Structures are given as C-alpha cells and as structure tokens.
Structure 1
Amino acid sequence: MDNGWEASAEAWVNSMGKHGDFSRWAVLDSPMLERVRLAAPLRVLDVGCGEGRFCRKMAETIPEVFGIDPTVRLLELARGKGGAEYVEGVAEALPFKDGHFDLVVSYLSLIDISDVSTALREMIRVLRPGGRVLITNLTGWVTASQEHGGWSRDERGATTMTIDRYLEEHAHWGEWDGIRIQNWHRPLSFYMQHFLELGLTLTHFDEPRANAVDDQRYDACPYLMLMEWRK
C-alpha cells in the first residue's frame, strides 16, 4: 500500500535542508547522539533511514552503520552522500541475520510503519543479546490530534488541541510543504506493552527539552519522546 513517501521524497528533502527540521536539530539530535555514544556500538542499523541524515551523523564515530528504507528516491539521495551502507527494504522483513547489530535505531519512523508489531519483532531479532534499541517518536497525544488538524495557538501563545480516539490504533494523512504521507497513531501503552512482551528492559526514557534558546514554546508543550530498551 502506498503511504505517500515516494511521491513526497523531493519535497521532504527540501524541507529538511542541511540540518533537519526543528524536531531534529533543536530537540532530538543531541540526546540521540548522546545515547549512541554511551552505547558505544560497533555496528548500528537505522530503520527508516530516509535520506541518511542521522546515519551520517552516527558514522562520524561508529565503524559500521547500515540504513534501511523502502523509499527508492530517498535511498538514492542517501547513497549519493555516503556515510553508511544503505539497503532497500521494509522494517517488517529486515534482510539481516539474527543478532547482527549492537544498536538498532528508529528515529521518528515507527509512525510510518503499518504493521509495527512485526517491525518491532524484527528489530529485536537482528539485535544481539545485550544490545539496545533506541527510539524517538511523536507522543500519542499529538498523533491523536492529527485528524482534527493538530494544535493551534492564540495570540498569547496558549495551545488549543482536539484529541480523539487516543486508545485506538489508526492511520491519518498529513500534508504540509508539498509533502503528503500517511502516519499512524498508537498510544504509548501500545509500545510499552509490546517491548515488555518481547522481554526487553527499559534503560532510558526522556521527553527532551529544545536546545534553541530563543524558542521556549516547545518546552511548554513538548511532543517528542525518546526511549531506549535493552535486549
């Protein structure tokens, strides 16, 4: 099923620019790279690597970095910039042997995967015993608002949001800056229960603050989370 990524690839890369969007450069990159540094992996897999931006960041300190993505155009762009070995494929059927990686990363990619239960099992399968899976995701309350247009702010900066069907897994289409892609909403309990059932141990959880000193609106209503689990 088409989720819009192939047709949106060029617009996506243009929207990211050199450093990524606000969620990436101002909120998630620093704590993600810190967790990668602490894990000290030799071989890493980035599931849903897109144009390879975070793969290239990890490759500055990690000997072997692999990225996998189903979007052909994004992989072409990633390979053109190098920094990792890029593989075409889906998260639900990872083309790697059991226990192949020290660290598996999902950087805002779980919301793009329809059969995420299978994808999570695959991510754990290719992880060695003692290895870590490092995930960033939108919070459930913000994905549950997307069908109603997300949030709005009044002249005082106060946020108004309509949240619906929070406990129900469901898909919605998002459109902005020439991009039209399908995302999935799932409550936080969905992910917590799946990882616990897979026998993993939660080693880190955070809702990082923005590091942009001139933008404190994000900290007043943060919508990103980071979690790390050990196999």
Structure 2
Amino acid sequence: MNEDVSDGWAASAVAWIVEQGEDGDYGRRFVLDAPMRARIEGRGFRNALDVGCGEGRFCRIMQRAGIRTTGLDPTEALLARARELDPTGNYRLGRAETMELSAEFDLVVSYLSLIDVPDLGAAIARMVAALRPGGTLLIANLTSFSTAGQPDGWTRDGEGIPRFSIDHYMEERAIWVSWRGIRIQNWHRPLGTYMTLLLDHGLQLRLFVEPEPAGGDPERNAVHRRVPYFHIMEWQKPA
C-alpha cells in the first residue's frame, strides 16, 4: 500500500525529521519525555517493542536505560533516519495492525502512534499478543477532547479571547492536520473506545496521568495547561 496516499506520512517524512531533530518536538521534550522515562527506568525491562517508532528517538532513549529495543514503523524514510542515527539498532518496516511478533517483549510502547492507526482494534490485539505474560503496555496518546477539537483547534471568540472548541466527540473519524510542512492523517476516537478495547483484552490499568509541562516556555505551557494535549496510560498483561 502506498503510505502517502493513505495517511501523508511518506510525503511528510522529511519535514517530520526536521521538526523532531534529535531531541523531539516541544510536547515530547517538555511534557511527555520525563514521565515516559520515569515509567521505563529502573524497572528491570529487558526487551521492548516501540510500535510506530518513527525516526527511532524513543528507542534510543530506552537503549540508554539499558533496554534492548525493536522499532516498527510503516514509513521507510523514517526508518532510514532511525538507522542513520542508530546503525546497530533493530528497526523493521511494518504496520501495527498486521505485525506478526511472538510474545517476546516485556515492554511494548506506543508513543503518540495510536492516533495514526486506522484499525485500532487490530493494532491493540497485535500489541497485546507481542507482550509476555506480566508484561507492560505503555501508551502516550493525544487526549480525545484534544483530537475532537481538530483540525481547527484554537480560535478567537468575538472578544478576541483564544478558545478551544470541541465537537462531535462521540464520532470516530479521520482528521487531516497540518503544521510546518507536515500534513498527516490522525484519528479522533472517544476515550471510551480506547479503554474498552484495552479492557476487553484483560489488561489491568496501572497508571493514567495527564502530564503537565515542565520547563520550556511559560506561554506555551499555559496553553498546555488550559487544554492538555496528552495522556499516558500503563497497562499490564496478566501473568
């Protein structure tokens, strides 16, 4: 399948690589990275799968924590960049919905990748199948009220005050979003859709947080506090 026709990632890969650099974009650096690192460091994880690894940034973070990693992504240009930055890393071309990996991982990570997946049910089933009994599924995702406000997001009311409007929250739908030369397809789904699919696989919820910014620019952080963009969930597969 032509990835660009379906979701825009192939055409956006170069701009994405520039946007991320080696340290990630603003939300990753100042909102998500610290709490995500806190969930992987010092917990004895040995073998991790990063689903939707992109240019491999979180794989490299996990490696620095002593975890062996496998990165999976459907966009060849992003994998080429991952291999350039991490020549000895294990990066594979593939989609979350169709990957065929045995239950060999004690940690499976989705770092802002579930919003890119058209068939969420199939992707979660494959991710759970890749986990060892007792293993951990760690998810960072856009909040559903954030995606329900896209693509318009922030607008100004009649008095010029910035407002974030959400609508059609219960309607699962694809959304095209664009910024800095990137144009990709995301999916809005109600939070209940994610929770039901994960619970239906017998997973046990161990963590749910909406992280606040730490460091960075105070004005940008104020926006994140008005409308949190992200949540982090940790689920455990029964032993």
Aligned pair count reads 228
Name the TM-score, length of structure 2 as normaliser.
Answer: 0.90
The CA distance in 2 between the partners of 1:186 and 1:48, in whole Å, is 18
The CA distance in 2 between the partners of 1:8 and 1:27, in whole Å, is 23
Q: How big is the shift at 1:76?
A: 0.4
Instruction: Give the corresponding residue for 1:62.
Output: 66
The CA distance in 1 between the partners of 2:163 and 2:42, in whole Å, is 38
Equivalent residue runs for 1:36-115 within 5 Å = 36-82=40-86, 84-97=89-102, 99-115=103-119
The CA distance in 2 between the partners of 1:214 and 1:72, in whole Å, is 33
The CA distance in 1 between the partners of 2:199 and 2:94, in whole Å, is 26
The CA distance in 2 between the partners of 1:60 and 1:15, in whole Å, is 22
Residue ranges of structure 2 left out of the alignment (5+ in a row): none
Q: How big is the shift at 1:213?
A: 5.6
Q: Does 1:27 align with 2:31?
A: yes
The CA distance in 1 between the partners of 2:160 and 2:37, in whole Å, is 31
The CA distance in 1 between the partners of 2:6 and 2:18, in whole Å, is 21
Q: Which of 160, 181, 202 is residue 184 of structure 2 equivalent to?
A: 181
Q: Does 1:133 align with 2:141?
A: no
Q: Which amino acid aligns with 1:9?
A: A
The ranges of structure 1 where at least 4 consecutive aligned residues each deviate by more than 3 angstroms after the TM superposition are 156-159
The CA distance in 1 between the partners of 2:111 and 2:162, in whole Å, is 26
The CA distance in 1 between the partners of 2:233 and 2:42, in whole Å, is 14
CA deviations on 1:67-124 (whole Å, 9 max, x unpaired) are 0000000000101111631000000122311x11000000000000000110000000
* Cα RMSD (Å): 1.7
Q: Does 1:195 align with 2:201?
A: no
Matched-pair contact (CA < 8 Å) for 1:202–1:229: yes
Instruction: Give the corresponding residue for 1:165.
Output: 168
SS at structure 1 position matched to 2:212: coil
Cα 1:92–1:220 change in 2 (3 A) is same
The CA distance in 1 between the partners of 2:8 and 2:143, in whole Å, is 22
Q: How big is the shift at 1:17?
A: 2.0
Q: How big is the shift at 1:22?
A: 1.0
The CA distance in 2 between the partners of 1:159 and 1:40, in whole Å, is 45
SS at structure 1 position matched to 2:66: coil
Matched-pair contact (CA < 8 Å) for 2:156–2:162: yes
Matched-pair contact (CA < 8 Å) for 2:146–2:227: no
The CA distance in 1 between the partners of 2:182 and 2:27, in whole Å, is 17
Cα 1:194–1:153 change in 2 (3 A) is same
Name the TM-score, length of structure 1 as normaliser.
Answer: 0.93
The CA distance in 2 between the partners of 1:33 and 1:153, in whole Å, is 36
Cα 1:210–1:133 change in 2 (3 A) is same
Q: Which amino acid aligns with 2:225?
A: D
Q: Which amino acid aligns with 1:86?
A: Y
Q: Which amino acid aligns with 2:73?
A: D
CA deviations on 1:110-149 (whole Å, 9 max, x unpaired) are 00000011000000001000000000111111101114x1
Matched-pair contact (CA < 8 Å) for 1:89–1:95: no
Cα 1:108–1:208 change in 2 (3 A) is same
Residue ranges of structure 1 left out of the alignment (5+ in a row): none
Q: Does 1:220 align with 2:223?
A: no
